[in-house]
Amino acid sequence: MFPMSMSQGTCENCARLEFKCSFSDVAPRTDFSSVQRRPERRRGTQACIECRHQKSRCSGEVPKCATCILHQRQCRYPKEVRVSSEKRKVTRVENESILSLISREDLLQRIDDYFEHLYPIPSYAFLHEPTICQQSLNGTLEPSLALSIAAVSKLLVSSKEESALTTKAESIIWEHMENPSIIQLQSLVLVIHHYIQTGRFSRAYMLAGLAARAATALRLNYERPELSIVAQETRRRVLWALTFIDGHFSVGLPEYETLPHTIIYQQLPSSEYLFTGTSQQAEGQHSLLGACVRLSKVQKDIMRLTRQLALSEQPLAQLNGLVQEIQKDLWRLKADVERPCGYHINRPMDMNQSRWFPRFLQISISWHQAHCDLYRLFLPGYPEAAPLVILNAIEIDVKEHAVRQCDKHVTRINQLLSDLLASPHSVLPHYVAICAYQATRLTLFLSCSPDVRIELGMADAIQKAHTAVT
């Protein structure tokens, strides 16, 4: 027999839950107050140990429930329930502190700006858009991540530096430093980006080492096939985002590397289709982000070769072979990207209307810059060129071929920068500025070096350099 309510002729459970009971034809109340009222608490997994033993209702307060206080009993919770309750309390306090720094409406707008303008940039593509958007709407987004997203979005999209947001996000990260998590690491990566963009390179460099330590503590450099696809891909993207940062600081010097590729056993990032379940326009099933990672690895190899040659005191017989291997890697990457994505690496502006244009742009400009970095090794007198003891042992036709390659690819970069000026975009990859600087140096060198045979007037060189730095 079900316990019945004498007032309505329904069972007590249906009356409590505001359900229509099959034992009665009386419809439940539908006024707004009854819809909003939650059912009263019953025994369950959140109850304290004493209430479970006494089979009594537990109100669930921490550290002592009302029932134990009333009966003067020692109230004890299971460890996992106590930790979860304390974590919810801390999160609630932190969420309240966020509202003192940024309004909810402003926060939601900054998150929208992030995924519209920054997420297409490879170094910012490590957040899962559906999850972050849902958590921001229901108010469960982790405070440090919310603050760091807002800070970097304001800086890059609206040109407003909010140092208070970054400072607060970093302080929350430091409070949980001994318990690293993926979310805290994502927040730290954004904080590092904020410091890089505001010129605080020393702090960014030190925090990058801390982020790398957290990544290895979480074993992000290893695959976890037992996890869901989204969880696996999130781990990969956070790790590869750290390697992008590492490339800014290490510049080919092993003593400055925090995440060398030799310790990474992760796959390359997959496509947006697999990560978020949706995709727009050209990327489809193919990973432009994976191509960007491959290019960054090639560029690291070139920087490492440049550093090694600078220390050589005798000719290197296998130098030509090493250069050819790197050149083959670049050709292979070009074919792997162009064929499935339907774009030409020399014409990234064809993808100007795509959401993923920043990735097409970074692939194109990085591909050309990698050629410049590789063949400038053979330019006598250039600061990054190989020592004379090596260059003197190289055949003249090899050096002339290197000059032609440098001229060809730096011209492509200058043309690309000129096209960007004609069709400006709000936010572009940070690497574009680096390539513009390198293109300016190489263009001016090719125009005035007596050891380089190339027809490039000084006026044209100055005009191209001016375009590059504009």
Per residue in 15-48, pLDDT (tens digit) is 666 666 766 544 444 443 333 444 444 444 568 8
Closest residue by Cα to residue 441 from 372, 349, 368: 372
State the pLDDT confidence band at 110, using cuts at 50, 70 and 90: very high
CA distance 133 to 404: 49
Question: What is the predicted pLDDT for the residue at 29?
Answer: 43
- Is the peptide bond between 380 and the residue preceding it cis, with omega within 30 degrees of 0? no
CA distance 44 to 63: 17
Which band of pLDDT confidence, cut at 50, 70 and 90, is reported for residue 201?
very high
pLDDT given at position 326? 96
Helix then strand then coil, % of the chain, to nearest 5: 65, 0, 35
Q: Is the pLDDT of residue 177 over 80?
A: yes
pLDDT band at 456 (very low <50, low <70, confident <90, very high): low
CA dihedral 194, 197, 203, 206 (to 10 degrees): 80
More confident residue, 157 or 20: 157
Instruction: Tell me what pLDDT residue 4 has.
Output: 46
Q: What average pLDDT does this structure show over 212-219?
A: 95
CA–CA–CA angle 274, 279, 284 (5° rounding)? 75
When pLDDT is cut at 50, 70 and 90, the band that residue 469 belongs to is low
Q: Any residues with CB less than 8 A from the CB of 264 and at least 6 apart, and which?
A: 221, 239, 243
SS3 27: coil
pLDDT for the residue 452: 59
Q: State the pLDDT at residue 230.
A: 92
- Please choose, from the candidates 457, 317, 319, 334, the residue with its C-alpha nearest in 3D space to the C-alpha of residue 385: 319
Q: Among residues 412, 411, 408, which one has the least CA distance to residue 400?
A: 408
Check residue 366 and give left, alpha or beta (phi > 0: left; psi -120 to 50: alpha).
alpha
Q: Among 8-17, 95-104, 133-142, which stretch is predicted with the lowest mean pLDDT?
A: 8-17
> 3 is written with which tokens?
């316990």
Residues 6+ apart with CB under 8 A from 447: 454, 456, 457, 458, 460, 461
| CATH number of this structure's domain 41-77 | 4.10.240.10
Confidence (pLDDT) at 37: 41
Cα–Cα distance list, 152 to 189, 213, 228 (Å) = 11, 23, 29
49 CA to centre of own chain: 43
What average pLDDT does the structure give for the chain?
A: 83
Mean pLDDT check: name the lowest of 129-143, 245-259, 445-459: 445-459
Inter-residue contact 173 to 218 (CB < 8 Å): no
Portion of the chain with pLDDT greater than 90, in percent: 49
Q: Where are the alpha helices (DSSP H) in 198-313?
A: 201-217, 229-250, 272-276, 288-310
Closest CA to 130 of 115, 108, 109: 115
Residue 350: the pLDDT is 87
* Residue 290: partners with Cβ closer than 8 Å, 6 or more residues away: 268, 269, 270, 271
Least confident of 4-13, 270-279, 281-290: 4-13
In whole angstroms, give the CA distance from residue 143 to residue 161.
Answer: 19
Nearest C-alpha neighbor of 456 from the set 402, 407, 393: 407
CA 434 → CA 388, 429, 439, distances in Å? 27, 10, 9
5 pLDDT above the threshold of 50 = no
pLDDT, position 88: 52
Q: Write down the residue that tokens 């990566």 correspond to.
A: 189
At 68 the pLDDT is 86
pLDDT of residue 27: 41
Closest C-alpha to 281, from 188, 371, 386, 355: 355
CA Rg value for the chain: 30
Helix axes 229-250, 288-310, angle to 10 degrees: 30
> 221: closest CA among 179, 211, 229, 230?
211
Please tell me the distance from the alpha carbon of residue 23 to that of residue 20, in angstroms, as a whole number. 9
pLDDT score of 405 more than 70: yes
